[in-house]
Amino acid sequence: MERTLAQAAKHLGMTRPKLIELMRAKGLLNNRNLPAYPTRDRDYLRIKDSNWYHETAGMQYSQSTRVKQPGIRWLADQLGLDLPAIPVNNRDVA
């Protein structure tokens, strides 16, 4: 499962702008909010390429950062955050 920066921020208990600020301060994001080291951090972050057609401007292209599932704990470690406790799932109990 992949999360947007907004979803990852919510999971880490903060706002998207605060997460971006912390990630930039640590050198994890560049000025376009994309991974600063996409090869090094590929197990945790990825760049999602998107495109769409606009009536007057033609094809539009964008890139955004996605946080992979292992990236949530990695981000918490990188940024010195305590992750909220994961709720226990009792549905699997026999």
Please write the tens of the pLDDT for every residue from 13-29.
999 999 999 999 999 99
Of the candidates 61, 72, 49, 52, the residue with the CA atom closest to the CA atom of residue 2: 72
Q: pLDDT tens digits, residue range 58-88? A: 999 999 999 999 999 999 999 998 876 655 5
3-class SS letters over 21-83: HHHHHCCCECCCCCECCCCCCCCCEEEEEEEEEECCCEEEEEEEEEEEHHHHHHHHHHHCCCC
Q: What is the pTM of this model?
A: 0.82
Confidence of residue 42 (pLDDT cuts 50, 70, 90): very high
